[in-house]
Structure 1
Amino acid sequence: MRFLAVLLVPLVLAEICPMENHAVCNTGHLACVCSVSQEDENPVPEVSCNALIARDLETGNFPVVSVEFTLKNSADALEEFPEEAFKDKISSSLRVDEEDIVVLRTSCQGTDDTITVQFVILKKDTNSSALPFAIEDLIDAQSITTRMKAMGHLDEIANLDVDSIEYTDELVDLEFDPSNLELIFKAVLLFLVFGFFFILGIWKLMKKGDEYADDLQKP
């Protein structure tokens, strides 16, 4: 039974991952959808975060700082990524204005225990209303990554354990597209779990019926 409980926990608890709703990052005119959930049937509430940046026309790439968090021991009470606390920590650590931090992705990438956050930081003289942002409008993502890696206290941000901080020009997909094999595995797992409880329920009913029949036959 303990094994079954472990299997069912991810299905019933509200946690950051997997995401049940589309995620919106930033506020005001920079508000944008930074992750699309397949489970959310509602239309996306804002423009895609892709609209904020001038990505490479051929590859779709754009330089960002990518932070991967592990959620195993640090996100039990959270239902969504704590963006405000994240920006506050980055702002105070790098001595930049919180309003200049622009989150482009918050993606679980099909997992239950990790979330990847990708962001950029505007230069002080950048007009935040002049969209989309070009690479020249931003503080160099590689230098930001180097500074963050050198800061020992950034092994935890917004009460979440940091697994890695990397520079990359490959943006995580807005919508995770699971493989057919993964979907089949999840479907089989659900079938086995609920099938077990269905059979268990029938067995208990039959057992009670037999006990009732035995009681009737007693003198």
Structure 2
Amino acid sequence: MDSRWIGMGVSCLIIMIWLFVCGLPTELSTVSFVALAAMIQIAAGYRLGTYVNRLRQMAYHDSLTGVLVNRRFLDKLIREIKLAKIQQYPVTLLFIDLDNFKKFNDCHGHMEGDRLLCQFAAILQASVRSQDTVGRWGGEEFVVLLKHADTQQALAIGERIQNQVRQSLSGVTASIGVASYPHHAATAEELTHKADTLMYEAKKQKDCMIVATH
């Protein structure tokens, strides 16, 4: 829930308690004063909620690219697998690493490298569906959680990502590991390990996508 509305709700509750304890004012000047104080209290609650929202955004999202940090992404993956077990639908995970990123950094500098990572994050977010989730695992490694998606659907999305990277990022390509629940893993941890391992195998060939077989 949006913390701004929680802040406003708490402020309204404080005002109601205060009026209950002190009683309703009768004089016009007192009524005006109470109304002004109530407005200030509600505004303060809204601003406090806005600040809490900003702190949550900073804690949950990568400061450079704006996608989920790895811990929050893993939490989301764990919740999604639990839900998928109950409702019996597939979930697919993509582990993605940028090939030749270190070389790009060495040639163009870290500021350009950061800019490229932001471009890559934007490509990922534009390539997936609205219900999917993008995260940064660390460095130039990113992850994509595909809800209600089997391996074939994930392959199509992975190919779209690779094509966009080839077209948009200078000399940099993407290697991808793909694994799906429940066919390749029974838990979020197993799924993460499998997709990560396949991504490292793909990186040996560069600009490659490897899918789990069992």
Common topology (TM > 0.5): no
Which structure has more relative contact order (CA 8 Å, sep 6+)? It is: 1
> Which is richer in helix?
2
Using the size of structure 1 for normalisation, the TM-score is 0.35
Using the size of structure 2 for normalisation, the TM-score is 0.36
